[in-house]
Amino acid sequence: MNAEIIARLQHSLEHCPQQFPRADSAVPHGNEESYLLERFRDLPSGKQQALLALLD
């Protein structure tokens, strides 16, 4: 089974594109702080508290 996994990984890496296409950012460039603050303020109170607890 290990040989099959290694063979599959080698095949995938050999056929992997050198560069992946870049996706547009979900946050507008240059407005990151205001965008995140606005999103935070739109959250329900419980989710705000949960997020703040994670950041502590």
This prediction's pTM: 0.49
Residue 2: band (very low, low, confident or very high) from pLDDT cuts 50, 70, 90: confident
CA atoms within 13 A on the CB side of 41: 6
Q: Which pLDDT score is estimated for 20?
A: 67
C-alpha R_g of the chain:
21
Model confidence pLDDT, tens digit, residues 43-55: 999 999 999 999 8
The domain segmentation of the chain, as residue ranges, is 1-55
Residue 16: band (very low, low, confident or very high) from pLDDT cuts 50, 70, 90: confident
Q: Left, alpha or beta for 30 (phi > 0: left; psi -120 to 50: alpha)?
A: left
Share of the chain above pLDDT 90, in %: 38
